[in-house]
Amino acid sequence: MGPDLTGGALQPARFIIRKISPPRPTSFHSEAASSSRISTTARSIEVDVIDRGPFKKGRKIDLSHKAAHIIGMLDKGTAPVRISLISAPPGAPAVGAPLRYFVQVGSFSREDNAERLRDRLTAYYRDVHVDRLEADQRHYYRVRMGAFATRPEAESRAKDSARFGLPIIIVPE
């Protein structure tokens, strides 16, 4: 088993219902990268981290409805758990590493559409790239700029690139 993500202490967790139905139990974690596998102990369960979160102070993890049901915590709302990293995807930032920020300007189900937007924006910005994401057995292609060390840097780029009329979101990772 990998490093303890809670410093050995039990951390409060919030179990909420998400409108997703993946084949395995999932979670949102504040420090582990998406596609990581982690283990929680209250009653032990392994879950896939599918996104960053929760962003509520004092909480490290939100479990899916399925995961909360399996460990018998569905009706309790919150419970103390210990969290351990099992695996992380290649190139993922170290657990506890400072957040990086990306400016996302598009997400596509077809790679050629994402590449076309990347090519258009590359004339203005050098750090435009396409990230492939697999979720619910589908592939998505996200067009992003960055990484930026601070949110204000990402916000500055978002304001500058708003002139293209694209749907812009700032993504912390």
Which of 60, 87, 114 represents a domain boundary (last residue)? 87
List the one residue out of 149, 155, 150, 152 whose CA is nearest residue 169: 155
Residue 146's H or E segment, with its range, is: strand 138-148
pLDDT at 38: 56
pLDDT at 13: 44
Instruction: Please give the Cα distance from 30 to 59 (Å, whole number).
Output: 8
First to last CA, the chain: 23
> Do 108 and 157 belong to one domain?
yes
pLDDT at 117: 97
Which of 33, 61, 87 represents a domain boundary (last residue)? 87
Per-residue pLDDT of the chain (173 residues; tens, 9 = 90+): 444 444 544 444 443 333 334 456 555 555 556 656 555 555 667 777 766 665 667 776 777 777 777 777 777 677 676 777 777 777 677 767 788 899 999 999 999 999 999 999 999 999 999 999 887 788 899 999 999 999 999 999 999 999 999 999 998 88
- What is the DSSP secondary-structure string of 93-133? PPTTPPP-EEEEEEEESSHHHHHHHHHHHHTT-TTEEEEEE
The CATH code of the domain that includes 149 is 3.30.70.1070
For the chain, the domain total comes to: 2
Instruction: Please give the Cα distance from 160 to 170 (Å, whole number).
Output: 13
The CATH code of the domain that includes 36 is 2.40.40.10
Burial 67-88 (b: 16+ CB within 10 A, else e): bbebbebeeeeebebbbbbeeb
Instruction: Please give the Cα distance from 120 to 3 (Å, whole number).
Output: 42
Instruction: Determine the Cα angle at 55 with ends 101 and 40, to 5°.
Output: 105
Instruction: Please give the Cα distance from 28 to 36 (Å, whole number).
Output: 10
> Do 114 and 81 belong to one domain?
no
Considering the domain boundaries, does residue 68 fall inside one?
Answer: yes
Question: Within 13 Å of residue 55, how many CA atoms lie on the same side as its CB?
Answer: 6
> Do 65 and 111 belong to one domain?
no
> Do 77 and 106 belong to one domain?
no
Range of the domain at 54: 11-87
pLDDT at 172: 84
pLDDT at 54: 58
